[in-house]
Chain A
Amino acid sequence: MTVIEARGLRKAFGKTIALDDVNLRVDEGRILGLIGPNGAGKSTALNAILGLTEYQGELRVLGRDPWDERDQLMRDVCFIADVAVLPRWMRVSQALDYVGGVHPRFDRAKAEGFLAKTDIKRTSKIRELSKGMVTQLHVALVMAIDARLLVLDEPTIGLDILYRKQFYDSLLNDYFDRTRTIVVTTHQVEDVQHVLTDLMFINRGRIVLDCSMEEFESRYLEVAMHPERLAAARALKPIHERQVLGRSILLFDRVDRGQLAALGDVRAPSIADLFVALMGNQTGEAQGAAR
């Protein structure tokens, strides 16, 4: 079943084109990572999917038009924009009461169960919680909602590595169940590499790469070259070349693994490496996503 389908999605802010004829399709049960440099159009795309911004073109989320039917769509869609959006004046117990009051698919006992594993007190105000605790609370609220699509826009920004790990662990273990779909944007690509089922690179409002992780793993290979084989390797048209500690690392697209093994040490590239390769070739400036 298709959860998100966009055709010719376009959005401009004045003369800046944030989304330029984007086509995308996300099926049920996928975890899609939307990766791109700052200002690439990731958040605009998510905002369009969530009914937070107007757009041109055709977009259906769970069969609905998000701009016209946001409130109904939100019964089946959850999103975490980033850690800073929970109202600071609210008490934890009030947040539970309110979401329980307005959301027909919220399971309060489940949320309480998640919170029981944390140090968050029911009586605390959100402003009194640490940044990591606010995320834990938001995650507890969202995971207790039986939604079909979860959208995460930089969910772990500003969090330390422990919280980030915990975040993705509970996402996979306690939430994801093959009938749900998750779309996540993040700059911290190393965190999500083993979480995603699908990968999409976006730059300057256009989709640059759209593949499953299986495809990513079979298509792209990175080789740390034996220096004397460099010329032979270059003849195979690597898509990117870089130097690490005096050694050339070449990235290949759709080149036979056996052939490459003769040239140097073959390994799977990280998402960040591929990102730099593709974005670097495209624009020459791709610091945004690769850290």
Chain B
Amino acid sequence: MNTQSNAGPDSLLDSRAIPPAAVSPTRPLYWSVRRELWENRSIYVAPLAIAAVYLLSFAISVIWLPNNMREVWMPHTMREMAALKVTDSLVGLAMPYTHAAMLIGLIAFLVGIFYSLEALHGERRDRSILFWKSLPVSDLTTVLSKAAIPLVVLPLIVFAVTVVLQQIMRLLSIAVLVMNGGGAATLWNRLPLAEMELVTLYGTAVIVLWHAPIYCWFLLVSGWARRAVFLWAVVPWLAIAAMENIAFHTSFLGSMLYGRLSGFTEAAFDLTDKNGVAIDPHFIPLEQLAPGRFLSSPSLWVGLIFAGVCFAAAVRLRRYREPL
């Protein structure tokens, strides 16, 4: 740290002659993100807790695994084997792993929503904004650190926790199968976990880009509203959608809002295979990812522009904000 620890008054005076220590611009950002994690431990506690609960349930369920493996992967007759489609059994194997990823993603989404609603409101409510503003941290850095939680930190946590959880699940399954005399090698060979993890990585990135306008809008409202942040963030949209529906018997806004929540699956994945057959979303092979289509989707870019506008407005607004 600083070298002035034993400084008397003389050396204090000397230090003034030294130009202010150069601070890299990322240092306040780094510390501001850490600050957010100190204040909101649910950012990592919630995904970890749900992963632990899921793992426990899975551990209990693997009791049935040896039996299932025999049924699926070791058909006794050729006829039975012919009757089984490989993808079906693959889906059966992959399902708990996919569910794990989806559940952690959902929890992270909820954490991100509640975090964003609170982010610029809490500091005004408890007056600590005056303390934060007494430090050499710009409004841009502060809002950036808060936006980084749902947009960067949570997705990384989702991916990391999912990968670790899935690996533990597979190890556990293999251990049970080894003890029960069969199927371990089949599971190891057949469960395409590496491929699934790539899909999880892609999916996490897709979802966060798709949801970015939601988080940034909530962040803006949390900096603007004096109270009832959630209502201010949500009710106007619902009211306009209802008005549109009553006045014009159309539901453009309604379907747009719905699409903003869940439309990423259609935009980013090809959910029919090359024969035009719908694929089961519990196991999406790599070749069904459609990054080109996703990146050229106007909805994505409209959403990102909206997110950018909300972000800029939130930065601007924070300058004027005082304790409530």
Contact = CB atoms under 8 A, between A and B. Distances in A.
A104 interface: yes
B38 A90 contact: yes
Contacts of B139: 71
Interface in B133-183: 133-139, 141
A17 to B, nearest CB: 18
B9 A100 contact: no
B34 interface: yes
A103 B135 contact: yes
Interface string B27-46: 11011101100110000000
B20 interface: yes
Contact of A98 (B13, B16, B35, B133): B35
A71 B35 contact: no
Q: Chain B CB within 10 Å — which of A88, A100, A146, A179 has the most?
A: A146
Interface stretch (A78-86, A187-195, A264-272): A78-86
19 contacts: A50-B134, A74-B134, A74-B136, A78-B134, A80-B134, A81-B131, A87-B39, A87-B128, A87-B131, A91-B38, A98-B34, A99-B135, A101-B30, A101-B34, A102-B135, A102-B136, A103-B136, A107-B7, A177-B13
Contact of B28 (A52, A54, A102): A102
B1 A179 contact: no
B126 A88 contact: yes
A138 B162 CA distance: 41
A86 B30 CA distance: 20
A229 interface: no
Interface of B: 1-2, 4-7, 9, 12-13, 15-16, 20-23, 27-28, 30-32, 34-35, 38-39, 123, 126-131, 133-139, 141, 319-320, 322-323
Given A52-B322, A84-B127, A177-B9, A71 B2 contact: no
B16 A179 contact: yes
A75 interface: yes
Contacts of A107: 1-2, 4-5, 7
A85 B131 contact: yes
B131 A102 contact: no
Interface of A: 50-54, 70-76, 78-81, 84-91, 94, 97-110, 113, 146, 177, 179
Contact of A102 (B2, B127, B137): B137
Contact of B15 (A94, A113, A146): A146
A151 to B, nearest CB: 9
B7 to A, nearest CB: 7
A177 B12 CA distance: 9
A50 B135 CA distance: 11
Contacts of A72: 136
A81 B4 contact: no
B144 to A, nearest CB: 13
Contacts of A79: 134
Nearest to B9: A177
A70 B141 CA distance: 13
Contact of B1 (A53, A109, A177): A109
A78 B133 CA distance: 10
Contacts of A80: 134
A146 B12 CA distance: 8
Contacts of A103: 135-136
Contacts of A88: 126, 128
Nearest to A89: B39
Closest 3 pairs between A and B when the two form their complex, measured CB to CB: A109-B5, A101-B31, A71-B138
A94 B39 CA distance: 10
A87 B124 CA distance: 11
A274 B289 CA distance: 79
Q: Chain A CB within 10 Å — which of B30, B126, B131 has the most?
A: B131
Nearest to A78: B134
A28 B296 CA distance: 59
B4 A110 contact: yes
